[in-house]
Amino acid sequence: MNTELSELEQVTQEVKELRTLNRELEAIIESSYDVIYITDKNGVTLKTNSAIERITGIPKEYYIGKSVDALMKRGILKSSVTQKVIEQKRSVSTVQYNYSGKETLITGNPVINDDGEIEKVVTNIRDLSELNELQTALKKANELNNSYKKEIERLKGVTKRDGDVVIASHQMKLIYEMAERIADVDATVLILGETGVGKDVLAKFIYSQSIRAKQGEFIKLNCGAIPPDLLESELFGYEAGAFTGANSNGKPGMLELADNGILFLDEVGELSLALQVKLLRTLQEKEIRRVGATKSKKVNVRIIAATNRNLKEMVHNGEFREDLYYRLNVIPIAIPPLKGRRDDILPLIQLFLQQTNHKYGKDKIIDVKLNDFFYRYNWPGNVRELSNLIERMVITTQGKELTIRDLPIEYKESNNSSLVFTELMTLKEAVEIAEEKVLSLAVNTCHTTYEIAEALGTSQPTIVRKLKKYRLKIKE
């Protein structure tokens, strides 16, 4: 009798210890800020903690006893890490958007029994959205610290010169290193490149680094912006009474005004053949003759020319003098288009945003997805287009944060077209672009999320989640 009582007491004590251990385990699981999700070997939910309610908005009791297959069919799960763990018999990690549209890091680990078989799967789900917000806040704080920002730029290899020049790409570093070397050489420079790549910025930089910056002016003349019949007098000047309507005192031309300095001839390919002859004579003899004058005048001016046209082809077609071409082409510098030096895009964005905020008294910021669009866009208008777009968005956007939703309609269309696929991207990014395009079309034609779900062959909870993710609303 006593033996039986002793065994009963021992069992009772073990039961108490087991209950205590279970309570402690329950408390540990419940206290975790991350979601802890436990299933059996068949993927049926055994236990989860209250953290899942914070991330998904669904009570934890809902999940108990349900298989991950059923949750996927309901659209609550996008894909099952549990299934992958069971199939691969190893730990699996993935990043995905959950039911409520939050970005989460999901890691599943198998529990192996003595026979080497999976007994349970323990999954940890971490909410990355708050971490991303903290990273954004940290980035903003760093940007406000000017000295720290300069250190970051130095470590990244970003070079700033003269306030308006930002170079991060290898190509532009080589170009500006050459510009420094030839700054005090009086040889003629021919800058080649598409419209808007920054040819005038490079010309100003050469001037700023030269001794001529202390001796004379930087004068710019756009040869394509002035009618041909007025361009000669603008370039060479004119004497009093040289033609009807002429100033009674005459007028110095750009070549005279740039004496001891630099004359930047933009769009030099637009010069007429007659003016090409006069310019060639100036380069050869270092002197000019005003319109209507009988005497020439010596000038000490360095010429920097620029064009977006193919001067060699123009020479071949008889549209540009070969001798002038070789006079201008002493030091040729070709600036690549912005799409060919994408490392410059993000630093340029920060420069233009800072300048525009200061100009208009704003404090706008740019979100990650918009920066990504800027990086992938092909910029047919190059740096000038990028600068103008940022200024336009800063002025016209009401909110503090600039997003893809704030892009002008022509850019939104390109964002949803095949244009963005001209550069390599991850499959996830490509799928998201396609999803957003299809959903954008659906919200314009369907009246409810149920109609969209039926039209797209998916569940209504999935549609709700996707619309929230891409910030889309059904039109009334």
* Residue 142 in domain: no
* Residue 4 in domain: no
Contacts of 475 (CB under 8 A, 6+ apart): 443, 444
Report the pLDDT value the prediction gives residue 169, as an integer from 0 to 100.
85
24 and 75 housed in the same domain: yes
Report the CATH number at residue 102.
3.30.450.20
Report the pLDDT value the prediction gives residue 88, as an integer from 0 to 100.
84
363, two tokens: 């404090």
401 and 320 housed in the same domain: no
* Residue 29 in domain: yes
Per-residue DSSP letters for 178-238?
HHHHTTT--S-EEEE--TTSSHHHHHHHHHHHSGGGGTS-EEEEETTSS-HHHHHHHHHEE
Bigger pLDDT: 131 vs 151: 131
pLDDT 10s digits, 416-471: 544 444 455 677 777 777 888 788 878 877 888 888 888 888 898 898 888 888 87
pLDDT-based confidence at residue 270 (cuts at 50, 70, 90) = very high
Region 31-36: mean pLDDT is 82
299 and 382 housed in the same domain: no
208 and 118 housed in the same domain: no
Rounded (5°) CA angle 300-303-309: 165
Cβ-based neighbour number of residue 412 at 10 Å = 15
Chain mean pLDDT for the chain: 83
pLDDT at 154 over 50: no
**Structural domain containing residue 252:** 159-336
Write down which residue in 336, 358, 375 finishes a domain.
336
Write down which residue in 316, 336, 356 finishes a domain.
336
* Residue 140 in domain: no
Report the pLDDT value the prediction gives residue 422, as an integer from 0 to 100.
45
pLDDT 10s digits, 183-195: 999 999 999 999 9
pLDDT at 315 over 80: yes
pLDDT-based confidence at residue 285 (cuts at 50, 70, 90) = very high
CA–CA dist 400, 362 (Å, integer): 9
Cα–chain center distance at 344: 10
Bigger pLDDT: 434 vs 396: 396
329 and 362 housed in the same domain: no
Bigger pLDDT: 14 vs 83: 83
Report the CATH number at residue 278.
3.40.50.300
Region 75-102: mean pLDDT is 76
Bigger pLDDT: 439 vs 143: 439
Query: How many angstroms separate the most distant Cα atoms in the chain?
Result: 139
Q: Which of 139-143, 328-332, 354-358, 455-459 has the lowest mean pLDDT?
A: 139-143
Contacts of 267 (CB under 8 A, 6+ apart): 222, 223, 224, 225, 306, 307, 308, 309
Region 59-76: mean pLDDT is 81
Cα–chain center distance at 472: 22
Write down which residue in 336, 370, 394 finishes a domain.
336
183 and 72 housed in the same domain: no
Query: How large a percentage of the chain has pLDDT more than 90?
Result: 37
Q: Which of 142-146, 168-172, 458-462 has the lowest mean pLDDT?
A: 142-146
192 and 312 housed in the same domain: yes
Bigger pLDDT: 33 vs 40: 40
Element (H, E) at 36: strand 35-40
Report the CATH number at residue 385.
1.10.8.60
pLDDT at 153 over 60: no
Query: How large a percentage of the chain has pLDDT more than 70?
Result: 86
| Number of domains observed in the structure of the chain | 3
* Residue 419 in domain: yes
pLDDT 10s digits, 405-419: 888 888 876 655 444
* 410: nearest Cα among 377, 442, 382: 377
Region 164-181: mean pLDDT is 86
pLDDT at 302 over 70: yes
311 and 361 housed in the same domain: no
* Residue 187 in domain: yes
* Residue 147 in domain: no
29 and 114 housed in the same domain: yes
pLDDT at 163 over 60: no
pLDDT 10s digits, 215-238: 999 999 999 988 888 898 899 988
Report the pLDDT value the prediction gives residue 161, as an integer from 0 to 100.
44
CA–CA dist 211, 35 (Å, integer): 66
116 and 206 housed in the same domain: no
Strand, coil or helix: 314: helix
Region 131-156: mean pLDDT is 62
CA–CA dist 428, 434 (Å, integer): 10
Report the pLDDT value the prediction gives residue 164, as an integer from 0 to 100.
62
Q: Which of 26-35, 132-141, 374-383 has the lowest mean pLDDT?
A: 132-141
114 and 258 housed in the same domain: no
Per-residue DSSP letters for 250-302?
-EE-HHHHTTTSEEEEETGGG--HHHHHHHHHHHHHSEE--BT-SS-EE---E
311 and 452 housed in the same domain: no
* Residue 198 in domain: yes
pLDDT at 356 over 90: yes
Most confident of the following: 131-135, 374-378, 453-457, 470-474? 374-378
